[in-house]
């Protein structure tokens, strides 16, 4: 990993005529270590325990600048290590307040980190807690969609670092279960997402509840005019930090677009790519909640066990599914953009765009789920003839052409069969009955789950040549059943699939 450290003494604190000045380019590519930042021993110990060997480029730039107390505007794509880029120097700055007192009054909120989604907030919290584990600094997280009472109890204990989604934080402020009167540092993470989600008025109200004198950090993967306006409204002489080209995707991610004949072929294409590429874990993105749900069910039929999470399921259930995915118990997570926002799954090897996103920025966010922190990743996209405009929009944003291949399916898919969600080998399982509805209920109940196998098994069915059915003498389903009976092999080990839902309406 490149280690580009601007030495603390060479930071340009003079604002340029434009909004912000820029952190200077590294003077030499000499190996930079976490030790060279002057971080305290308890923080360094935690970093080493987490296995971080050297700072990522954003950390190399951000840590010294934040430690010096500057405001920062960070153009950091997901997976660059930006959380540690701001969290480590924040902890370092707060160490002066660290104390072992049990009194909550001795642990007021000193740093507030705002994030757009519950998942991202929770993820940042876990990171901060890990980085602070050898200090007396306390952290807490509050987000909506869950019972507020445990959060009130946690806030009563006191915490120097509070991570929050805007809406729930306003609830707490309204109920006076938290005060920000002693906050010294404000971080807006994934600011572009917060604006997309309409949080601007909430953010403004929260800023009004903070002391005027404070350090402000803002991170965003993309930079629109609105983001710049927000930045100019509350950042003071910010240092600009940019580690990758704006709106660019991580270089470590191999990106391939596969042409498929039609929408009906996509499910088979996903199953085939997972198998051919020996993908152990993947997030599959769809543009709609219904699409995610349906795809998870269909992938079940390909030998992958489904554990769908619907938008109306509780936040705890969503977090539990995420946890299962992180632990490797779930190998395919079918997700919409909103649900997947900010997810950090360490070393996620691949993402698949089942649907190309309506907004090209979402492509950058999606593929940022893989290739995180310098690891290599795979971003595969499926494209039909109708997706050409979306494909062009993505290439325009990335300012480069993507590799396009034509995917030859092992087994052509009959459109009617695909739409009905029924595959010939459905009846190849002892659990199945002719009552498809009952069968689906059984699938959702999770009664077939195995102990988290990851490599997809080769289904002998796929190795058979395609045999067109004669509709004169038998129905397609009857013929399919025969084919399945003929190819019946050992029962495949189960793999888990989850649909993580919560997507908003498609953007135009």
**Which residues contact ligand AMP by CB under 6 A?**
52, 55-56, 59, 78-84, 344, 346, 372-373
Give whichever of 25 and 346 is closer to ligand AMP, judged by the CB atom: 346
Give whichever of 160 and 344 is closer to ligand AMP, judged by the CB atom: 344
Taking the complex as a whole, how short is the minimal distance between the CB of residue 129 and ligand AMP, in angstroms?
Answer: 12
Locus of tokens 């080990």: 493
Q: What is the DSSP string of 372-385?
A: GGG--EEEEEEE-G
Q: What is the DSSP string of 68-101?
A: TT--EEEE--TTSSHHHHHHHHHHHHHGGG----
Give whichever of 81 and 89 is closer to ligand AMP, judged by the CB atom: 81
142 and 169 Cβ atoms separated by less than 8 Å: yes
Taking the complex as a whole, how short is the minimal distance between the CB of residue 115 and ligand AMP, in angstroms?
Answer: 11
* Element of type H or E holding 217: strand 215-220
Give whichever of 54 and 395 is closer to ligand AMP, judged by the CB atom: 54
Taking the complex as a whole, how short is the minimal distance between the CB of residue 435 and ligand AMP, in angstroms?
Answer: 44
At 136 the three-state DSSP class reads: coil
Give whichever of 266 and 372 is closer to ligand AMP, judged by the CB atom: 372
Taking the complex as a whole, how short is the minimal distance between the CB of residue 83 and ligand AMP, in angstroms?
Answer: 3
Give whichever of 55 and 324 is closer to ligand AMP, judged by the CB atom: 55
* 107 C-beta neighbours (distance < 10 Å), count: 22
Taking the complex as a whole, how short is the minimal distance between the CB of residue 238 and ligand AMP, in angstroms?
Answer: 20
* 186 C-beta neighbours (distance < 10 Å), count: 23
Which of 194-218 are b and which e, b meaning 16 or more Cβ less than 10 Å from the residue's Cβ?
bbbbebbebbeebbeebeeebbbbb
Taking the complex as a whole, how short is the minimal distance between the CB of residue 55 and ligand AMP, in angstroms?
Answer: 5
Which of 359-391 are b and which e, b meaning 16 or more Cβ less than 10 Å from the residue's Cβ?
bbbbbbbbbbbbbbbbbebbbbbbbbeebeebb
Give whichever of 113 and 494 is closer to ligand AMP, judged by the CB atom: 113
Taking the complex as a whole, how short is the minimal distance between the CB of residue 398 and ligand AMP, in angstroms?
Answer: 19
Question: What's the farthest any 2 CA atoms get from each other in the chain?
Answer: 83
Give whichever of 56 and 286 is closer to ligand AMP, judged by the CB atom: 56
Taking the complex as a whole, how short is the minimal distance between the CB of residue 82 and ligand AMP, in angstroms?
Answer: 5
Q: What is the DSSP string of 411-431?
A: S---HHHHHHT--GGGGGSTT
- Supply 338's token pair: 């909103």
Listed in sequence order, the residues at least 6 apart from 323 whose beta carbon sits closer than 8 Å to its beta carbon are none
């Amino acid at each position: 990993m490149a280690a580009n450290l601007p030495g603390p003494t060479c930071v340009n604190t003079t604002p340029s005529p434009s909004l912000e000045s820029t952190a200077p380019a590294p003077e030499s590519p000499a190996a930079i270590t976490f030790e060279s930042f002057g971080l305290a021993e308890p923080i360094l110990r935690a970093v080493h325990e987490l296995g971080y060997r050297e700072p990522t480029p954003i950390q190399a730039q951000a840590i010294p600048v934040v430690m010096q107390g500057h405001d920062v505007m960070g153009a950091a794509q997901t997976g660059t290590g930006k959380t540690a880029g701001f969290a480590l120097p924040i902890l370092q700055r707060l160490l002066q307040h660290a104390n072992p007192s049990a009194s909550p009054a001795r642990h007021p909120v000193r740093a507030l980190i705002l994030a757009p989604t519950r998942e991202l907030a929770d993820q940042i919290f876990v990171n901060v807690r890990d980085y602070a584990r050898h200090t007396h600094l306390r952290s807490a997280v509050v987000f909506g969609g869950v019972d507020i009472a445990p959060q009130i109890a946690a806030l009563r204990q006191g915490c120097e670092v509070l991570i929050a989604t805007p809406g729930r934080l306003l609830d707490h402020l309204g109920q006076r279960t938290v005060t920000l009167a002693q906050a010294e540092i404000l971080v807006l993470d994934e600011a572009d997402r917060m604006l997309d989600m309409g949080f601007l008025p909430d953010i403004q109200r929260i800023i009004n509840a903070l002391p005027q004198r404070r350090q402000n950090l803002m991170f965003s993967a993309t930079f629109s005019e609105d983001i710049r306006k927000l930045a100019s409204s509350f950042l003071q002489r910010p240092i600009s930090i940019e580690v990758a080209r704006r709106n660019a995707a991580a270089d470590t991610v191999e990106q391939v677009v596969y042409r498929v004949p039609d929408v009906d072929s996509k499910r088979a294409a996903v199953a085939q790519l997972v198998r051919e590429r020996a993908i152990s874990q993947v997030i599959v993105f769809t543009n709609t909640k219904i699409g995610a749900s349906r795809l998870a069910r269909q992938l079940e039929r390909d030998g992958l066990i489904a554990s769908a999470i619907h938008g109306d399921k509780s936040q705890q259930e969503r977090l539990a599914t995420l946890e299962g995915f992180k632990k490797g118990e779930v190998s395919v997570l079918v997700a919409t953009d909103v649900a997947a926002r900010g997810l950090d799954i360490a070393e996620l090897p691949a993402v698949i765009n089942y649907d190309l996103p309506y907004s090209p920025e979402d492509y950058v966010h999606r593929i940022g789920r893989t290739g995180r922190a310098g690891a290599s990743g795979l971003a595969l996209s499926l494209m039909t003839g109708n997706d050409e405009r979306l494909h062009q929009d993505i290439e325009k944003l990335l300012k480069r052409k993507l590799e396009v291949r034509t995917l030859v399916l092992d087994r052509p898919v009959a459109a009617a069969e695909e739409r009905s969600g029924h595959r010939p080998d459905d009846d190849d399982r002892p659990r199945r009955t002719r009552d498809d509805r009952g069968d689906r209920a059984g699938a959702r109940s999770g009664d077939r789950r195995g102990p988290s196998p990851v490599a997809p098994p080769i289904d002998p069915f796929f190795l058979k040549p395609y045999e067109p059915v004669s509709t004169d003498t038998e129905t397609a389903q009857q013929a399919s059943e025969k084919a399945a009976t003929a190819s019946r092999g050992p029962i495949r080990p189960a793999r888990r699939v989850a649909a993580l839902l919560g997507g908003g309406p498609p953007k135009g």
